Each structure stands twice: as C-alpha cells, then as structure tokens.
C-alpha cells in the first residue's frame, strides 16, 4: 500500500488546481525535479490514489451534457427542505437544455 506524504499532498493539491500542469512547473511548485514528480504521480496512479483526470466543459454550449438525478432527503420536514433548497441555490440552474428540445428551463427554486 502506498502511503502519501506531505510532498504527495502538495502534488495532489496542484493537480486539483490544474491537472494539465507540466512536470517541470509542478516540480517548481512542490520543490522537486520534474522526473521525481512524474515518478510520484505514476506511483499514486498505480496505487489508485489518483484515479483519473477531468475536463471542465461549458454546460451551455451546443453539445451540453444531459444529467438526470434523483434526490431523496432523509426527512421531509420544513427544515430539511429549506436546507436542501439553500444548498441547491448555490449552483446556477437558470439555463438548462432538456431532452424534449425545450431550449431553457428555470428550475422552481
């Protein structure tokens, strides 16, 4: 089992900010050579600590990604519903495309 140390945590933090950072730039950020960074990343990938890399995509573009979710609250009290609504309002939801072809939908919260 691979045990991460403080330098690995720095590498992970930098990869979370920019997964496309070069090994040279990553090394400068964490105080290692580029080859040492590459070796540590490879070890963390093999150990399953780093599981992959993600691209953030403009969701309002022509090729928007469709997502269907179901949410179940632990309780349906007014307090829980208010907490859920407050949490959801933190995310923009005023321009979503639907599979039925309706160009935009405003969610009811």
Check which CATH number belongs to the domain holding 12 and give it: 1.10.10.10
> What pLDDT sits at residue 84?
79
> What pLDDT sits at residue 32?
97
> What pLDDT sits at residue 51?
93
| Token code pair at residue 13 | 């933090």
Q: Which domain holds residue 72?
A: 58-109
Length of the chain: 109
Which pTM does this prediction carry? 0.54
Burial environment of residue 86 by CB neighbours within 10 A (0 to 12, 13 to 18, 19 or more):
exposed
Give the chain's domain count: 2
pLDDT, one tens digit per residue, over 68-84 is 667 777 888 888 888 87
Would 76 be classed as within a structural domain?
yes
| Token code pair at residue 84 | 């859920």
Mean pLDDT, the chain, rounded, equals 80
């Amino acid at each position: 089992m691979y045990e991460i140390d403080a330098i690995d945590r720095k590498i992970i933090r930098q990869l979370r900010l920019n997964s496309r950072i070069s090994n040279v730039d990553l090394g400068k950020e964490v105080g290692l050579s580029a080859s040492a960074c590459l070796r540590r990343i490879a070890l963390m990938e093999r150990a399953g600590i780093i599981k992959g890399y993600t691209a953030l995509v403009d969701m309002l573009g022509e090729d928007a990604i469709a997502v269907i979710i179901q949410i179940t609250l632990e309780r349906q009290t007014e307090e829980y519903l208010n907490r859920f609504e407050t949490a959801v309002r933190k995310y923009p939801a005023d321009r979503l495309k639907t599979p039925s072809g309706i160009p935009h939908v405003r969610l009811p919260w």
